[in-house]
Amino acid sequence: MIKNLVIFDSHAHYTDPAFDSDRAALLGSFPDKGIAGCMVCGTQLSDSAAAVALAEQYPSLIVTAVGIHPECPLPPADYLDSLRQLAAHPSVKAIGEIGLDYHFDGYDKAAQERILREQLTLAKALDLPVILHCRDATGDMLAILREFAPLEGVMHCFPGSAETAREVLQMGLYIGFTGVITFKNARKPLEALRSIPPERLLIETDCPYMAPVPYRGQRCDSTMLTETAAVMAREKGFTVEEMCRITAENAARLFRTGDRLHI
């Protein structure tokens, strides 16, 4: 076991039903495993509210983001008022997970773009960073982000090239990587990773999804982040401990967690 770890999982979904059987035991084990913080992200109003409730149970471990994910059903007409009310909670440090996703047939491009713009506007008004999701929609995503740049936030589970990474960085965003960088076919994200300054990197699980090798196919959780950190450290020339500390400090700075987490 690696000692002296300080890990911040910058993107997790601990309200997911996959954790219903052992959520308390798992989260309770984190301090002894070097996990100093987790960003629990919302995908719709119900789990955004659940994330805030979870943060109340673990105030020194969990911070939250509230938002509408592009794959979720269209929110009610007054959803922005609901997000604004949720965002008043002291655990809420970002608007997210928001973005565009054109992966599955039948997506509503116009609705996704409208809801993304509305949530970016809300984040600006509330002075909160954003947590961005982009799948098979890079061109449209970049076009919308240019409208709002400069931006505080992170492009999570980064899917793009080194060239896209450079543009994202120029907008002011951080870039997060999941266990995908441990996969055998990870050439493209590794090329992007090598091009990103250490001070703009975040490390994340997207749990319960995206478990890294050798856990691929299992339910993912934050204790597996050392595998992702090892690949990131190898590519960037750091030890695992250094890489975890750097990304934890980056996340704490981006999400302004000083009032809740001690990193």
Domains of the chain, CATH where assigned:
7-255 (3.20.20.140)
At 9 the three-state DSSP class reads: strand
Interval 113-146: pLDDT, tens: 999 999 999 999 999 999 999 999 999 999 999 9
Q: Which of 210, 180, 207 is nearest to 23 (CA)?
A: 207
Q: What is the pLDDT of residue 215?
A: 98
Interval 163-190: pLDDT, tens: 999 999 999 999 999 999 999 999 999 9
> Above pLDDT 90, what percent of the chain?
97
Q: How many helices (H) and strands (E) does the chain have?
A: 9, 8
CA–CA distance, 45 with 193 (Å, rounded to integer): 32
* Dihedral (CA of 22, 211, 174, 95) sign: negative
Tokens of 132: 């961005």
Q: What is the pLDDT of residue 2?
A: 64
Q: What is the pLDDT of residue 71?
A: 96
CA–CA distance, 57 with 176 (Å, rounded to integer): 26
Q: For the range 108-117, what are the long-range contacts, defined as Cβ-Cβ under 8 Å and sequence gap of 24 or more?
A: 108/74, 109/140, 111/74, 112/70, 112/137, 113/140, 113/144, 115/68, 115/70, 115/74, 115/75, 116/70, 116/144, 117/144, 117/147
Q: What is the pLDDT of residue 4?
A: 82
Cβ atoms within 10 Å, residue 109:
12
Flag whether pLDDT at 1 surpasses 60. no
Residue 262 pLDDT grade (very low, low, confident, very high; cuts 50, 70, 90)? confident
Flag whether pLDDT at 99 surpasses 90. yes
Q: How does strand 130-135 pair with strand 174-177?
A: unpaired
Interval 147-160: pLDDT, tens: 999 999 999 999 88
Interval 203-228: pLDDT, tens: 999 999 999 999 999 999 999 999 99
Task: Give pTM, 2 decimals.
Answer: 0.97
